[in-house]
Chain A
Amino acid sequence: MTSPFVLTVVAVVLAGGLLLQKSARRILVGWLPGSRTFRQETNRRRKLTERFAIYVLIACSSVAILTTVGIILSLVFESVRFFALIPVTDFLFGLKWSPQTALRTDQVAATGLFGMIPLFAGTLLITLIAMLIAAPIGLLAAIYMSEYASRAARDIIKPCLEILAGIPTVVYGFFAALTVAPFFRNIGDVNGIVISSESALAAGLVMGIMIIPFVSSLSEDVISAVPQSLREGSYGMGATQSETIKQVILPAALPGIIGALLLATSRAIGETMIDVMAAGLSANLTANPFAAVTTVTVQIVTLLVGDQEFDSAKTLAAFALGLVLFFITLVLNVIALVVVNKYREHYD
C-alpha cells in the first residue's frame, strides 16, 4: 500500500545524500592536516555550509511551485481520462447533469449525463446573490471606515468585521441550513411563494455575509491609499465629503476596488461547505433564487465522498469539474492581481 510513498522518500533521501556527499567530503578533507592554514579551512567550510543552506532554502521554495504543478498535473491527467469516456463538448455544453454510472452495462441510461451547464449556472446564481449582498455592504463599510469613522472607531470596527472572515465555513453552512433557510421558507409560506428549503437565496445570502470582510478590508486599503491631495483639492472646490467620495475618490480607487470584488467573487465561486450544507443536490437549470440549485463544488464533494472505484466516469468527472473551477478562479485571481498592481504603480 505505502510502498510507492516509501520508495519516493528513499529516492529523495538518496538524491540528497549524493548531492551532500561531494560537499561532505570537501568538509572532511578540509579538516585533514594539509597545506592550508586553519583560517583558510574554516573559510572554505563556511562557504560550503552556506551554499548547502542556500540549496535547502531553494528546495523549500520550490514546494510552492511543485504544489501548483501537482494540482495542474493531477487535474489534467484525470480530466483527460474522463474525456476519453465522455466527449468534451458534452461536458462543457451539456444541459443535463445526472452522473449515475450504471452498475450493469445493459441498464437503461448506462452512462449518465455529464453536462456542466446547470452546475455552472447554479454556482453563478449563488455567487451573484452573494456579491449583491457583499459588494454594496462591504464597499459602504469600507468607505465609512476610511473616510468617516475616527481612528479609534476604525480600530474597533475593522477587527470585528474581520471576525466574519475567520469563522469556519462549516459554521456558516450550519447557520444557512438550520436558521436562514427555514426562515425564508416560512416567509415564503406566509406570502404564498414556494421557497425551497434548500434555496439558492439562503446559501447566497450567508455566503455574502461571509465575504463582506474580503470586500471591505481590501477596498479600505485602496481607498486609504488615495492621496490626500485629491481629497483636499475636491474640498477646496467646495464639494461635500460624499461628493468627494463619489466623484473623486471612488473613481481613483476603482481599479483596486474591482480587484477586491474579483477576489471576493473567486472566493465565492470556490466556496464549498455553505453550498454543500445549504444548496441542494438537484441540478436545476434555473435563475429562480427560491429554487434549489447545485454548484460545481457540491458535485465534486458528492461524487468523491464515500468509497468509490477510481476509474468510473463518476469519480473522474469530479476532477474535470475541479479543473474548470481551478481555471475560472485562476483567471479571476490573475486579472485581480494585474488590476491591483497596475493601480499601485500609478500612485507610488
Chain B
Amino acid sequence: MTDLITMPVRASKAGAARLKQRHAAERRFRFYGLFAICFGLSCIGILFFTIISGGYSTFSQTVVTIDINLERDLIDAKNISDGDFRKIVQNSLYGLFPEVTGRRDKRKLANLVSPAAEYQARDYAVANPHHIGKTISIQVPTSDDMDQFSKGVIRADLPESERRVSDLEIVWFNGLKEQGRIETIFNRTFFKSGDSRDPELAGILGAALGSFYTLLVTFLLSFPIGVASAIYLEEFAPKNRLTQLIEININNLAAVPSIVFGLLGLAVFLNFFGLPRSAPLVGGMVLALMTLPTIIIAGRAALKSVPPSIRQAAIGLGASPMQTLTHHTLPLAMPGMMTGTILGMAQALGETAPLLMIGMVAFIVDIPAGITDPATVMPVQIYLWSDSPERAFIERTSGAIMVLLAFLITMNALAVNLRKKFEQKW
C-alpha cells in the first residue's frame, strides 16, 4: 500500500509575491518575442506600402490633346521626316494661348508637353502623308513636371519658389483642363520603351529584356553544372579529402559577398578573356557562378531525400549506376532541384552589385536584341533611376520596383507550388 502524501501548499506571502513576479517576467518575455515578430512584419508592411503608394501612379500618364497644323511650309513633302515638327507643336500651343508673348513665357509654354510630342507628330506625318497641310489633333504626353503636378505629387499649395511648377504653368494647365484636353491614360510607354533622359519617355522594356537574357545565360550555365555537381558529390564521389574540400568550398562560396564575384568577372571575363563589357553574356556568367552553390546545395538535398531502397532495387535488377541515376534517382529528385534552381534564379534576378562591376550600369536607350548587346538589368535600372534628380524618376523607380517584385513573387510562388505539388514523403 502506498500512502497518499498530500503536500502542504506553501502560501507564504514572500512566495506568492515571487511567483507573481516570475509570471510577470514570463509574460514580459513572451511579449518581447511577439514584439520582435510584429516589428519584422510591420517592416515588410511599411516597405511595401512605401513602394506601392509611391509607385502606382507610374502606370498612368497625363496626356494633352493638341491640334497641330501640318503646315506645308514647315514640311518638305519629299522628305517628311526632316520637317520642323518642333515648331509645328510649338505653334499649336501658342495658338491655344495667344495672350502669351514674352520669349521666356513662350519657351515655358512649349515645355508644357514632352519632347515626345514632336516625334509623335513626325511619325503621324510620315504615316499619313496625305494629311500634310491639314490640321489634326493628337494626344501627346505632358512634360514630367506637369504630369507630377497633375498627379498631385507636386502640390499647388506650396509657395511658388518651392515647387518646380510656376503659377503661370498651373494657370495654363488648368486652362487646358477646362477645355477638356487633359486626360490620364494607362502608361504604355513604361512597358514598351527603353531608358531615356526624359522620365515620361523612359520604360523598363530594355532592362527587363536585359534581365531576361542575363537570366537565360545564368540558367543555361548554372543548371546543368549545378545538377551535375550535386549528382557527383551525392552519388559518386568517394569520401576522401578532395570531396571534403569541394564541399567546404561550396559552402563558403555561398557566403562570399556578391561584389567579389563582380571583381572576378571584371578581372577574368573582361580583362583576361576580353569579353564585351555591359553584355548579358558576361552578366549571366558571373551570376551563374554566384547561384551555383545555391543550386548544388538544393540539388544535393533533393538527391538525399530519395530513399536508398530505390537505388538498391534498380541496381538489383541489373541497372548500371548511371542507369539507376538517369531512370530513377534523378527524375525523383528533379522537383527539388527545380525548386532550388528557381530560388537561385530569383536571387540572381535581384542582384545588382556584381553587375555594376562589369559595366552593366551604362545609360542604354536601345533595347538589347541578344546576349552580346550592351544592356542593363532591372535592379541596375532601379539603381540608376533612383539616382536621377527628376521628381518623376522617383515614381518610375517605385514602379520598376513593383514590376521587379511582381516577378520575384511569381518565381517564389512557383517554387513553393512546385515543392508542394511534388513533395513526397517516403
Contact = CB atoms under 8 A, between A and B. Distances in A.
* Interaction A to B: yes
B253 A329 contact: no
Contact of A269 (B257, B276, B401): B257
Interface stretch (A102-110, A190-198, A241-249): A241-249
Most B C-beta atoms less than 10 A away, residue of A170, A172, A173, A297: A170
B50 A169 contact: no
Contact of B34 (A1, A144, A163): A144
B55 to A, nearest CB: 10
A123 to B, nearest CB: 11
A170 B273 CA distance: 29
Contact of A144 (B28, B37, B233, B321): B37
Interface string B220-243: 000011001101110011000000
Contacts of B224: 60
A284 interface: no
B34 A64 contact: no
Interface stretch (B64-72, B171-179, B262-270, B307-315): B262-270
A1 B271 CA distance: 10
Interface in A170-195: 170-175, 177-179
A304 interface: yes
A137 interface: yes
A4 interface: yes
Contacts of A179: 50
Interface string B242-285: 00011011111101111111011011100111111000000000
A37 interface: no
A61 B232 contact: yes
Contacts of A241: 26, 30
Question: Chain A contact residues: over half helix, strand or loop, or mixed?
Answer: helix
Interface stretch (B76-84, B138-146, B348-356): B348-356
A241 B23 CA distance: 10
Given A67-B289, A168-B350, A273-B352, A326 B47 contact: no
B36 A58 contact: no
A306 B63 CA distance: 36
Most A C-beta atoms less than 10 A away, residue of B23, B276, B357: B357
A273 B275 contact: no
A195 to B, nearest CB: 19
Contacts, number: 256
A64 B293 contact: yes
A242 B260 contact: no
B405 A57 contact: no
Most B C-beta atoms less than 10 A away, residue of A1, A54, A78: A54
Interface string A1-42: 111110010000000000000000000000000000000000
Interface of B: 22-23, 25-26, 28-30, 32-37, 39-41, 43-44, 47, 50-51, 224-225, 228-229, 231-233, 236-237, 245-246, 248-253, 255-261, 263-264, 266-268, 271-276, 289, 292-293, 296, 320-322, 346, 349-353, 356-357, 361, 379-380, 382-383, 386, 394, 397-398, 401, 404-405, 408, 412
30 contacts: A4-B274, A50-B322, A57-B231, A61-B229, A61-B232, A63-B289, A65-B249, A67-B292, A71-B256, A140-B35, A144-B36, A166-B350, A169-B352, A170-B386, A171-B382, A179-B50, A213-B40, A242-B26, A270-B257, A272-B257, A273-B379, A273-B383, A297-B257, A297-B259, A301-B259, A304-B266, A305-B357, A319-B267, A330-B252, A334-B252
